[in-house]
Structure 1
Amino acid sequence: MPDTLSPTSAADTPTLYPASPWLTWVPAPDYWNVAPTMFLPPPKPAPPVPIPEGVILIPTDLLPPPVLEHAPRAPAVIPPPQLLGPVADVAASEPPASVPAPAPAVAPAVVPTPLPLDAFPLERCARLDAALALDPAAGPSILEQHHLDHGTWRALRQHWQGALRAALRVGDPAPLRAYDDAYVGELERVRGAITPEQHASLTRASERGARAEGLATLGLPVAAVLHMERVLLRRRAN
């Protein structure tokens, strides 16, 4: 096809035809003429080996390792050393020294049943608990003064602690307040009244992370912190 078209008359303007890219021949790359590669199918699995009837095969990875038989050892040719000195006079047939018998076990303390709750009500146990916290080293003598052994005192304390928890579960704080008052009262009877200034110094020590040092300075046991805080807060509110 020509690039220009001659008009039929001289008045017409020659018209240019656009290029025709689809008519242009472009040689194809060489790899277009290569035959495509055919993918080979996977090999067929071999047929399973027939197992005779009645034969059970166990996987080899489940079998225990073979037992290695050690070769017998030859007897030792080194003779035992000769006994010299006083040891040689000891007869070989002499029986060994007897082993001392173990010490008899200490029988646990017998807790009386029922507990002497009438003689040791809640307030008395609170005062006794405070006295033991103030001087733990004198615990046996303090219990002896009250005619108590360690087992009975432990059972009494567990009983009243359980009673306090049961009262708090039903919303009755009166037993806990009575216990705190008796506990702090015993502390103040032994070491003196706890003043607001001492409480403030203890609060500042707690903010610095030195509560134990502050309690030791005031002569108060660590176990008295909660009891003392509750009592002093109620005193301040009143």
Structure 2
Amino acid sequence: MRLLVKLQVRTGTGNFILRDNTSILGATPAAANTLRRYDLKPVEHAEPEHDYHLCPNVDAVSEYKEAAINYIAGFVVKKIKQKQTCMPCAEALTSETTVHPFVLLKTRGGLQKPSPGIIAVCMESERCFQRILRTTSGKLPQGHGLTSAITNQVLIYSADKVLFPELHFHMFETTVDDNHVHVLVKMASSIYCKVRMHHLARCETEKMTKDIVRHQFTKLIHFHHQ
């Protein structure tokens, strides 16, 4: 059993064959190690008795980040629609009633308008990144299983919440290991993590190459024929 669960032995090799289609939930060591290394669980802030007990709330999201997350959430919806073939799930990704003013400002008719459920998933994913950056003192996080750890934490966060009310009855039409709501949450969180990691990596690259300015002004130099 330990070989099947922890080491995730697959069929097709060795002297055994698959007797049925029963799936076993695997335990990913990389994600477990990442959860232990970084404090991804939300911290409950108690009411302070004195002013000197006040400390910044790491889980707080500024208005600037909230606008950016709503914009990124539209990109997440676009990527999910390219992979999602279930029509009820695809319809639950967007909403015309709750649209952030920043998205309305930037759109020219082509931007996706994410639903509150997708926005909530992206918000919680961003809070996980804020906790990780607090642990690493703002440095780029290292190690395997980072996306899986964040996705699992977001899935735990969404367990007692109704993120997609349109899929309440549709959820019970699917199997336990193929719950479409859980699939949407994991896909949205995974895509957001990919975007966020690319941004962190680019910021880290700019720190290392801050003295090299030619690649920033290449087009300007070419336009001036210099």
Q: TM-score, normalised by structure 2?
A: 0.22
| Bigger-Rg structure (1/2) | 1
Tell which has more relative contact order, 1 or 2 (C-alpha 8 A, sep 6+): 2
Query: If each structure's helix is expressed as a fraction of its own residues, which one has the higher value?
Result: 2
Q: TM-score, normalised by structure 1?
A: 0.21
